[in-house]
Amino acid sequence: MEILGIDIGGSGIKGAPVDLATGALAADRFKILTPEPATPDAVAGVVAEMVRHFDWHGPIGCTFPAVVRRGVVYSAANVDKSWIGVDGHDLFGKATGLPVRLLNDADAAGVAEMRFGAGKGRDGVVMLLTFGTGIGSALFTDGVLVPNTELGHLEFRGGEAEHYAAARIRKERDLSWHDWGRRVDKFLQYMDRLFSPDLIILGGGVSRRFEKFVEALSDVPNVVPAVLENEAGIVGAALVAATR
């Protein structure tokens, strides 16, 4: 069985049909730049274009970088404020004419990593942290998701954690991989004190560069890079849509 997964991000919206049995993409990933401003109607138009590209006629899973409860968006830290209160299931359903399931982007990535990636078969407390424009998080206890944790917005070192250790901070401040890795390490140690996770999975685009900053990480056990890398959101969105 295949389901279309769409990963809505701050800079790009990407999607592909996903083989639910293997977690593999069933077609080449298609990406469209996120519109500016990324209003609900503008993003819905891109989602509809994605559906047309794949000539898709079945269920759709979509990620979104915000707190999402039963399809309704409740926060807008890194997206247009007009999203707050929007029913994403209704918005995207009307735009595509198809059943759509919307969920937090990091939660979707976590679901994929738990099924097919670094968290497969792991019990206990497993945490996925995605490093990109912000810091996303997904938390699992014995394989069960605790949704919408949004740990990147915790107060940390005088501000929000993602303003200290997100991947964009490395670029904005022209930090070396080692110096940025030390910032990540401090945040990971904080997560370790709060949650005592049995496994921490580092996701987002930086998972492909793990070897560049791993030597800066200290005293945090069981830290591994994500296996599905930037495809995790697409795969997780499709998996969750299958359970609707």
Per-10-residue mean pLDDT of the chain, 244 residues long, equals 94 95 97 93 97 97 96 88 96 97 97 98 97 94 97 96 96 97 97 96 93 90 90 97 85
Assess if residue 117 is contained within a domain. no
Query: Is residue 91 located within the same domain as residue 130?
Result: no
pTM of the shown model: 0.94
Report pLDDT for 244: 64
- Residue 115 domain flag: no
Residues 44 and 129 in one domain: no
Q: Are 70 and 24 members of one domain?
A: yes
Quote the number of domains for the chain.
2
Chain centre distance of CA 133: 11
**Which range of residues forms the domain containing residue 69?**
2-107+232-241
Please check whether residues 65 and 128 belong to one and the same domain: no
Tell me, what CATH number does 201's domain have? 3.30.420.40
Residue 116 lies in a domain: no
Asked if 94 and 133 sit in the same domain, the reply is no
Q: Which pLDDT score, from 0 to 100, does residue 66 have?
A: 94
Q: Identify whether 31 is part of a domain.
A: yes
Do residues 235 and 116 touch, judged by C-beta distance below 8 A? yes
Residues 19 and 93 in one domain: yes
Q: Are residues 54 and 137 in the same domain?
A: no
User: Does 222 share its domain with 236?
Assistant: no
Q: What is the pLDDT of residue 80?
A: 87
- For residue 201, being part of any structural domain is answered with yes
Buried b (16+ CB within 10 A) or exposed e, 87-98: ebbebbbebbeb
Same domain, 103 and 133: no
Same domain, yes or no: 17 and 82: yes
**Judgement on whether residues 237 and 221 belong to the same structural domain of the protein:** no
Do 97 and 145 share a domain, yes or no? no
